[in-house]
Amino acid sequence: MNIIITGASRGIGFETAKILAKQHKVYCLSRNIKPLIELNNPNIIPIAFDLIDFDATILGKEFSAVNSIDVIINNAGFLVNKPFTEITPLELQNMYAVNVMSPFRLVQYFYNKLTKNTTHILNISSMGGVQGSAKFPGLSGYSSSKGALTILTECLAEEFKEDKITVNCLALGAVQTEMLEEAFPGYEAPFTAEKMGKYVADFALNGKEYYNGKVMNVAISTP
């Protein structure tokens, strides 16, 4: 399989990439590719790519010899924890660029390489982006952008129904990652990045057999 994963240099993306690379080619898009290079795994192909700038010419060069894509995992996330009135236009723009626009544009770009009947597009959202879930001050930009990603998931599943390309979304609860620690210093999440990476990897490979157009809540908290 040929698998693309964004935000693969740390946290859940990094752990997911390591697991998938045991048996598949994993193209890892990240601004910082050093941790990926240090893995020294021939199945991991690090690609320096900024999702905010989204230079499609880089993708053209890196994927010119790749004929088909079997899995896309839109994992990258951008989080700013600030009161609503203090979030700057640039911070809001960057959150939406990474959390919504980049999955949209990535799937558009690779559409002609997606394999009918087999491709699985997996979007990684947040419980904060699910209607009716608990919301927290400071996350208006992040949660609303992740909410847009959940709706995009449902739309793409319908859009690609005739192509038999499957699209699903995992709305994750708190996971102990660098991004979480930066936004909420001292908070201890119930899941490690490694444990969640195993779940994401398994769902990316097998979830399409059971679900399409679904937003799956992956959290032990309520609501």
CA pair distance 122, 118, nearest whole angstrom = 13
Does residue 111 have an active-site annotation? no
Q: Which residues, listed in sequence order, are joined to residue 175 by a DSSP beta bridge?
A: 191
The answer to whether the CB of 196 falls within 8 A of the CB of 214 is no
Place of tokens 């994401």: 200
Q: In the chain, what is the greatest distance between 2 CA atoms, to the nearest angstrom?
A: 47
Tokens 């839109």 identify what position? Answer: 74
The two three-digit tokens of residue 99, written as one number: 């959390």
Structure tokens at 200: 């994401």
Question: What is the rounded distance in angstroms from the CA atom of residue 133 to the CA atom of residue 126?
Answer: 10
DSSP state of 118: T
Annotated active-site residue in 96, 109, 111, 142: 142
Active site residues: 142
